[in-house]
Amino acid sequence: MNTDQDIIQEIQNTDYKYGFTSDIETDIIAPGLNEDIVRQISKMKNEPEFMLEWRLKAFEHWKTMEHPKWANINMEIPHFQDISYYAQPRNKPKYDSLDEVDPEILKTFQKLGIPLEEQKILAGVAVDAVIDSVSIHTSFKSQLKEMGIIFCSFSEAVHEYPELIKNYLGSVVPYTDNFYACLNSAVFSDGSFVYIPKNTRCPMELSTYFRINATNTGQFERTLIIAEEGSYVSYLEGCTAPMRDENQLHAAVVELITLNNAEIKYSTVQNWYPGDKEGKGGIYNFVTKRGICKGNNSKISWTQIETGSALTWKYPSTILKGDNSSSEFYSVAVTNNHQQADTGTKMIHIGKNTKSTIVSKGISLGKSNNSYRGLVRMAKTAENARNFSQCDSLLIGSQCGAHTFPYIDVQNNTAIVEHEATTSKIADDQIFYCNQRGISKEDAISLIVNGFAKEVLNKLPMEFAIEAQKLLAISMEGSVG
């Protein structure tokens, strides 16, 4: 008779569904990292002097840094001199319509289930699609522009809005922050820039799909979102990557800034290639995401569904500086086969009456390791600050691991910090109960996992929730597709 073991085996044997390479011609800088490379990147992007200076300062600093060792991850340190730091599609025209776009690129989107036009029309999502570091398609821009909203590639912002970039770049994540953020600051290729003016509510979900494509090219994205007083924006980020052999480095930096009464909702669905069943290949994902609630009564929400990457090292964090500001972190991280994820958040409470909520759901399968690492800090000034953290782990099979590393640092007696953690397995009883109602083992596991992650899935914008459920199903099921 079948046992759960068979099902688990089957799940583990599911191949990465989105593994394919698209054939787009690219310009790639020769591998290596030195001052000349940094200058070359800046030059290829035709950047103003201030950008180059910033990159060079970051690079000088990076040379003095050591690769971090603290994460609960086994890895070989990437050979930074063997990586090419910039890739750009060879022809970079601005298209008037999708018909003019390289059909290969369109095909890639189709395989990923991201029909640009359809999505724009049906879901009202403006998509700024990034393939290999350079933005090739920006939509809805003019409509947003009328409202004073800026949504463009980072390179464009450097040229068009240098004052904003000068003011805010590195203001939340300084280039000295950490090893990978520093590397990113020196060599970042492109990314997204969003600016929401005062008292403006962005009428649509802004969305960028990242995709790593050229062989052996590290991708270094940078996202900067500024929400002026009383404004609101919901930003969606989603990623998938093609299958390949060598580990690829991805070290993005995301900075969010909310001023008085502003709100940013930042959602991520991440499905980068996790490596094969033996753990070969796959993306190294070392991301620094941080927001600052600079103004009073402002809010930053992070929601993430993490199913991909061989190694993930990511802690979307918020500095709650303004009084009465609040932040949420809702996360589902799935690891399978030999994936390793060390993810969580930091909530730094500085302002009075600041509030944060952390809900982290880790699901481990196969031989994977899934760690939650979270820091809650209540500074001396954080009168009546509150935090609630909940970390739940679900284990499927007997060879995986779940770990929780909560750090709590309270310097104000009026602050309240609560932490709850659970670890559970899918019980045979639960599977049998579902079976007895006519639900197969696979569907039962999917149902139970979705139930486990529900609190987080509910936080995603509608368009993304469906994609996220699909991803969870793909991560869990053996026969889907």
Partner 1 sequence: MIQIKNLHASINGKEILKGLNLEIKPGEIHAIMGPNGSGKSTLSAVIAGREDYEVTAGEIIFNGKNIIEMSPEDRACEGIFLAFQYPIEIPGVSITNFMKTALENKAKYLNQEPLSAGDFLKKMKEKKQLVELDDSLSKRSVNEGFSGGEKKRNEIFQMAMLEPKLSILDETDSGLDIDALRIVANGVNKLKSPQNSAIVITHYQRLLDYIVPDFVHILYKGKIVKSGTKELALELEAKGYDWIKAEIDA
Footprint on this chain of partner 1 (rule: CB under 8 A) = 1-3, 427-430, 432-441, 443, 447-448, 450-455
Q: How far is the CB of 443 from partner 1 (least distance, A)?
A: 6
The CB-side HSE value for 293 (13 A sphere, CA atoms) comes to: 34
Exposed, middle or buried by CB within 10 Å (0-12, 13-18, 19+), for 350? buried
Residue 278 burial (C-beta neighbours within 10 Å; 0-12, 13-18, 19+)? exposed
Give strand pairing partners of 360: 331, 391
- CA 327 from centre of chain: 17
Inter-residue contact 178 to 286 (CB < 8 Å): no
Tell the smallest beta-carbon distance from residue 421 to partner 1 (Å). Answer: 15
- The closest alpha carbon to 376, from 417, 324, 405, 323, belongs to 417
Amino acid of residue 395: L
Cβ distance to partner 1 smaller for residue 272 or 452: 452
- Taking the complex as a whole, the smallest distance from the CB of residue 472 to partner 1 amounts, in Å, to 12
Other CB atoms within 10 A of residue 337 CB: 22
User: Minimum distance between the CB of residue 417 and partner 1, rounded to whole angstroms?
Assistant: 25
Give me the least distance between CB of 332 and partner 1, in Å please. 12
Is the CB of 65 or the CB of 427 nearer to partner 1?
Answer: 427
The phi and psi torsions of 316 (rounded to 5 degrees) equal -60, 125
Beta carbon of residue 310, minimum distance to partner 1 (angstroms, whole number):
28
Query: What is the CB neighbour count within 10 angstroms for residue 160?
Result: 12
Which residue, 131 or 472, has its beta carbon nearer to partner 1? Answer: 472
Which residue, 74 or 424, has its beta carbon nearer to partner 1?
Answer: 424
Least distance in angstroms from the C-beta of 452 to partner 1: 6
For the chain, the 3-state helix, strand and coil shares in percent, each to the nearest 5, are: 25, 35, 40
67: its two tokens:
């690769």
H or E element at residue 403 = strand 401-410
Task: Closer to partner 1 by CB, 233 or 453: give it.
Answer: 453
312/446 with CB nearer partner 1? 446
Nearest to 159 by CA among 304, 48, 262, 288: 48
CB of 207 to partner 1, least distance (A): 27
